[in-house]
Amino acid sequence: MMRAAAAVPTTMRAVVLTALGGTDHLEPTVLPTPEPGADEVLIAVRTVAANRQDVYTMHGWANRRAPLRMPHVLGIDPAGVIALVGSSVTRLSPGDRVVVKPSISCGTCAFCTGGEDDACENLENVGVHRQGGMAEYVAVPERNVFPIPGSLGFAEATAISHSFPVALTMVRDRAHVGPGDTVLVTSAAGAVGSAAVQLAKLFGAQVIAAAGGADRTAYAREIGADALIDYAANPAFADEVLAFAPGGVSLYVETAGNPAVWKESLKTLARRGRVTVCGSHGGPIVELDLTWLFRARVTIVGSSGSSLAAYRDVLALAGEGRVRPNIHAILPLERARDAFATLLARENRGKMILEVAAG
């Protein structure tokens, strides 16, 4: 027996991927409205973001387990209002304003039962392994759906849903950032990089934000960085970092991967420094001198995705105004191709949000 907020139409507007290969295969269409399973809720979507994750999915890079069933609905981080709840749903009700955590952990593997569900062995993603939120309705397991704090709008909730929990899991839970740290964040104007800048500041660290281009470093200044590096203007930037932090940085946060930036950044690490990495789209193969690694006693930590605990904490921090969601633009759902064009041209400073319905 399902509980409903109002009658749900049998069909819905959506933007779908019709074939692998990129944004040329995104098309507005009409689909049957999904039916939520017993442990799922059906959300009437208000906003969803265009993310790099969607681009990976479009090219077939994100889901290697099974081919996508076309037409596929992208969109990992929808926010909206619950329209229906399945029979075993207990925590949420029709009418609740909610946002979706993109990665779905299994709840039963050793990592999940140990509270490290970001490392779940059976992860699935909304909009990747199942239909996503670039549609008027999306069905999502209750455990991945969270109430939006009253102080946040739908677009703001979508804007923090992916990048901030990923950054929090990385800098707090994996790299243990704290007040004694001097942190170098590269790609500091990117979605995860800019979240890492805000969170490292929140945890009391000194933050050196590095990015390519004056407009990107200006943005990093706006979100609270203590020192700025423009590696487009000065590719040999290690001396600039060391002028600000003469003892070296204790933590280097790499969210994109760039072999030249990596090489220069390692020169800035203090003895017993840590490096944490959560992305490689800028170039995954980098140099590493093992002699330097052991002599400098450096720790390198990989991080991917986010835990349920980090997700809840980010929502609370955003609700209290302690981190600021970054929105570049809000476009109607049907302009999804334009949103991805801006993202792929790296012209955005903050999230590209799609509005599915007003409200």
Interface with Zn ion (CB under 5 A): 105-106, 109, 112, 120
Nearer to Zn ion, 27 or 116 (CB): 116
Tell the smallest beta-carbon distance from residue 213 to Zn ion (Å): 40
Tell the smallest beta-carbon distance from residue 176 to Zn ion (Å): 23
Nearer to Zn ion, 47 or 105 (CB): 105
Tell the smallest beta-carbon distance from residue 140 to Zn ion (Å): 17
State the Cα–Cα distance between residues 207 and 133, nearest whole angstrom: 34
Tell the smallest beta-carbon distance from residue 110 to Zn ion (Å): 8
Nearer to Zn ion, 112 or 336 (CB): 112
State the Cα–Cα distance between residues 124 and 84, nearest whole angstrom: 22
Instruction: List Cβ<8 Å contacts ≥24 apart for 65-71.
Output: 65/129, 66/129, 68/17, 68/20, 70/16, 70/17, 70/18, 70/19, 71/14, 71/16, 71/17, 71/18, 71/27, 71/29, 71/31
Nearer to Zn ion, 105 or 306 (CB): 105
Tell the smallest beta-carbon distance from residue 227 to Zn ion (Å): 39
At 83, list the tokens: 């329209």
Give the strand pairing for 124-125 and 103-104.
Answer: antiparallel
Q: How far is CA 239 from the centre of its chain?
A: 31
State the Cα–Cα distance between residues 130 and 76, nearest whole angstrom: 10
Contact criterion met (CB below 8 Å) for 275 and 252:
yes
Nearer to Zn ion, 123 or 191 (CB): 123
Nearer to Zn ion, 73 or 123 (CB): 123
Tell the smallest beta-carbon distance from residue 335 to Zn ion (Å): 36
Contact criterion met (CB below 8 Å) for 195 and 253:
no
Contact criterion met (CB below 8 Å) for 54 and 340:
yes
